[in-house]
Structure 1
Amino acid sequence: MEKSRLYSPKYVKEIIEKYGFRFSKSLGQNFLIDGNVVRNIVKGANITKEDYVLEIGPGIGTLTEELALNAKKVVSVELDNSLLPVLEETLSDYENVEIIHGDILEVDINKLIDEKLGGGPVKVVANLPYYVTTPIIGKLLEENLNMDSITVMIQKEVADRMVAKHGTKTYGALSVFVNFYTDPEIILKVPKTVFMPQPKIDSAVIKLKIKEELPNIDREQFFKVVKAGFSKRRKTILNSLSSYGFDIDKEIIKSSLEKANVKAETRAENISLEDFINISTILPPLNI
């Protein structure tokens, strides 16, 4: 008789009962129990037998199993110590899977890629806990990792903000940050009914394709401008930058905006990524 796939609700319940597992609200644990969603995540990530995959938060291995069937090697980082014996059983048939106990926010990912994932490039795939989505994606994008793409299940509202274009209400600092490093695309909308336990909100799978080249600019200066610009959404860009606390005269900011062809009365939500880049390169160094 063929072994049940890990996404089978019946099998998930059996495993949970066998190990006396208790879902942790603090860790945001919600396990996938829908085969179509699992397969579509791996398909959307374009995982092939040539790929090295870094997975974050495997849970009981539902997504890990599908990745293992399609990838060259999968390394999964799991924070919850109580899931390690579960994963040892559920993934015992897959020799191309390695589980690492640790917090992805504390792990030296460059070292992990070099030592366990062929030096990269890697494809990151994960069903991320809502509460830690932004810090994890921030770490992945800022650490200059040898990555091809990041395909993650996250809160739908956050995914919408990541793909938002300037001129829309959902466009903000997160949109600019993600679009600076990647070309983002929502590849799947996921109802809350496909999880155990069921969350209160719907999710989405977003694919962040890493850009091959990034603008040759002072990134710290750039993100200071973006953060200050969105600090008070209802203010104009001139007032936002001049009231943020930078040690710079308002007239210099106004002049810099003019040189960047950005009207002083424009709000941040109407300023494109390219214009934010221009503003940051024209402004003198911003210090507080």
Structure 2
Amino acid sequence: MKKNYENSLKEIIKKYNLKPKKKLGQNFLHDKNIISAIVNKSGVEDEDIIEIGPGPGILTESILKNKARSLLVIEKDDSFEVNLKKIKSNYRDNFDYLINDVIDFDFKKLNKKEYKFVSNLPYNISVPFILKMIKIRRIIPWKEMILMVQKEVAERITADLGTKNYGRLSIMVNLNNDVKKLLNVKPSSFIPRPKVESTVIKISPKNKYININNEVFEKIVKTCFSQRRKKVKNNLDQLNINTISLLELSNINPDIRAENIDIEGFIRISMNYEELSKENFGDF
């Protein structure tokens, strides 16, 4: 049965003369079992779905066959438009597509539905896309994201405190989201085969820390991880602030590294930084 999906993908590639573009991080998923698992775990029936980088549309058609209320796909590569038009002719009432770079796309243009994102993301946009979506959730109130990413990216996002993979990405994504690994995917599930394994993750918003200044928080996290091997005090010395006072107020040991500070520790640092900055320089 798996072979049928692979043949179907190869037929689409041949029919429309489609060629995976390495510069766009394109690897086309053909494994029927993986596609079914993604769709089943996403719960697409009667949901408004957005898919990023549909490519030949194998996952796309599976989402539609499983009775999504609506499906919008956003594809950067216009060579796939002919096939997307064909899909639209079969699903006129609940399918649409946009030829656009999702990293630059203005989501304010969309209706404010509670979308689910279900995507096999192109490898080269996985991190910027995820960071963008967690930033703009107040603009587009997405319900959850089920995304295929590189296994290495999934491990960074889900990394535990104090490990080598724990860093800016882990903190920014987990600040107001729960993240769960759903399944690992082997290179043989794709055409062409990538050199790395992939992982499907689910990101669900939890709105735990909604009153913090996200811009200041991100600045603090980025500064603290600017040189991983340095003590947190040395990294924060880049800022125009009394670092010793900042860390004392935040109950943070100045001699530890950023990888040993949890999310609540970074929140304390960012909030105290904001207050000290106002005292020293007024509103900033």
TM-score by length of 1: 0.89
Instruction: Choose the corresponding residue for 1:258, options 239, 248, 252.
Output: 248
Instruction: Choose the corresponding residue for 2:104, options 92, 103, 106.
Output: 106
Contact 1:6 1:62 in 2 (8 A): no
Contact 1:78 1:102 in 2 (8 A): yes
Q: Which runs of 5 or more structure 1 residues have no equivalent in the other structure?
A: none
Counterparts of 2:205 and 2:267, CA distance in 1: 18
Query: Cα deviation per residue 1:31-53 (whole Å; 9 max; x = unaligned)?
Result: 1111111111122223222x101
Name the residue aligned to 2:50.
54
Counterparts of 1:89 and 1:121, CA distance in 2: 27
Instruction: Choose the corresponding residue for 2:277, options 268, 282, 285.
Output: 285
Question: SS in structure 1 opposite 2:143?
Answer: strand
Q: Which runs of 5 or more structure 2 residues have no equivalent in the other structure?
A: none
Contact 1:168 1:269 in 2 (8 A): yes
Task: Give the CA deviation at 1:164.
Answer: 0.9
Counterparts of 1:33 and 1:265, CA distance in 2: 50
Task: Give the CA deviation at 1:130.
Answer: 1.1
Contact 1:6 1:90 in 2 (8 A): no
Name the residue aligned to 2:27.
30
Question: SS in structure 2 opposite 1:165?
Answer: coil
Counterparts of 1:21 and 1:156, CA distance in 2: 26
Counterparts of 1:238 and 1:199, CA distance in 2: 40
Contact 1:6 1:65 in 2 (8 A): no
Task: Give the CA deviation at 1:159.
Answer: 0.6
128-137 vs 196-205, which deviates more? 128-137
Q: 1:7 to 1:54 in 2, by over 3 A?
A: farther
Task: Give the CA deviation at 1:213.
Answer: 4.4
Contact 2:52 2:75 in 1 (8 A): yes
Identity of paired residues, percent? 39
Task: Give the CA deviation at 1:7.
Answer: 7.0
Q: Which AA in structure 2 matches 1:44? A: K
Matched, 1:78 2:75: yes
Name the residue aligned to 2:132.
139
Q: Which AA in structure 2 matches 1:78? A: E
Q: Which AA in structure 2 matches 1:46? A: G
Instruction: Choose the corresponding residue for 1:218, options 189, 213, 221.
Output: 213
Aligned length: 274
Matched, 1:236 2:244: no
82-91 vs 9-18, which deviates more? 82-91
Instruction: Choose the corresponding residue for 1:206, options 201, 208, 213.
Output: 201
Question: SS in structure 1 opposite 2:22?
Answer: coil
Cα RMSD for the two superposed structures: 2.1
Counterparts of 2:69 and 2:185, CA distance in 1: 27
Question: SS in structure 2 opposite 1:257?
Answer: helix
Q: 1:67 to 1:266 in 2, by over 3 A?
A: same
Counterparts of 2:63 and 2:226, CA distance in 1: 40
Query: Cα deviation per residue 1:223-243 (whole Å; 9 max; x = unaligned)?
Result: 11100111111111111111x
Q: Which AA in structure 1 matches 2:83? A: V
Task: Give the CA deviation at 1:90.
Answer: 4.6
Q: Which AA in structure 2 matches 1:62? A: I
Counterparts of 1:121 and 1:19, CA distance in 2: 34
Contact 2:88 2:96 in 1 (8 A): no
Q: Which AA in structure 1 matches 2:118? A: V
Matched, 1:64 2:57: no
Matched, 1:127 2:124: no
Contact 2:2 2:31 in 1 (8 A): no
